[in-house]
Amino acid sequence: DAKTTQPPSMDCAEGRAANLPCNHSTISGNEYVYWYRQIHSQGPQYIIHGLKNNETNEMASLIITEDRKSSTLILPHATLRDTAVYYCIVRVEVLGATNKLIFGTGTLLAVQP
């Protein structure tokens, strides 16, 4: 699986948008970009994923560059409960294959009051 690079930590003011970057310059054509977050002492929570188009759901938006070498997760109105480690993962999706998730070090997002 391709590796990702994320900043180790970021701060964001409560109520403002949080923009979390991720570099995945060696991503291949059949790899999706997945975002998970882990609040302290809990299992990771699925946020969003995409292949090449921008995606939006009730939690966040995912912006993927045209060359697919980087992406940004946007939390439109961060709250204190969004404080967590955010993981950007690229994952092969091949029908019938294992398609496992390999975690990097992630970004610790601290939402400040």
Partner 1 sequence: GAVVSQHPSRVICKSGTSVKIECRSLDFQATTMFWYRQFPKQSLMLMATSNEGSKATYEQGVEKDKFLINHASLTLSTLTVTSAHPEDSSFYICSARGDRVEFSGNTIYFGEGSWLTVV
Q: What is the closest distance, in whole angstroms, from the C-beta atom of residue 25 to partner 1 in the complex?
A: 20
Query: Residue 13, interface with partner 1 (CB under 8 A)?
Result: no
Q: Can residue 103 be called a binding residue for partner 1 (CB under 8 A)?
A: yes
Among the listed ranges 10-18, 43-51, 61-69, 76-84, the one in contact with partner 1 (CB under 8 A) is 43-51
What number of chain residues touch partner 1 (CB under 8 A)? 22
CA distance 102 to 21: 18
86 in contact with partner 1 (CB under 8 A): no
* Contacting residue, 29, 41, 81, 113, with partner 1 by CB under 8 A: 41
Q: Which CB sits closer to partner 1, 68 or 106?
A: 106
| Edge-first strand listing for the sheet containing 70-75 | 18-23, 70-75, 61-64, 55-56
Roughly how many angstroms between the first and final C-alpha of the chain, as a whole number?
37
For residues 90 and 22, is the Cβ–Cβ distance under 8 A? Answer: no
What angle (nearest 5°) sits at the alpha carbon of residue 76, between those of residues 86 and 83? 35
Nearer of residues 10 and 14 to partner 1, judged by Cβ: 10
3-state secondary structure of 81: helix
Q: Which residues bind partner 1 (CB under 8 A)?
A: 36, 38, 41-46, 49, 51, 87, 93, 95, 98-106
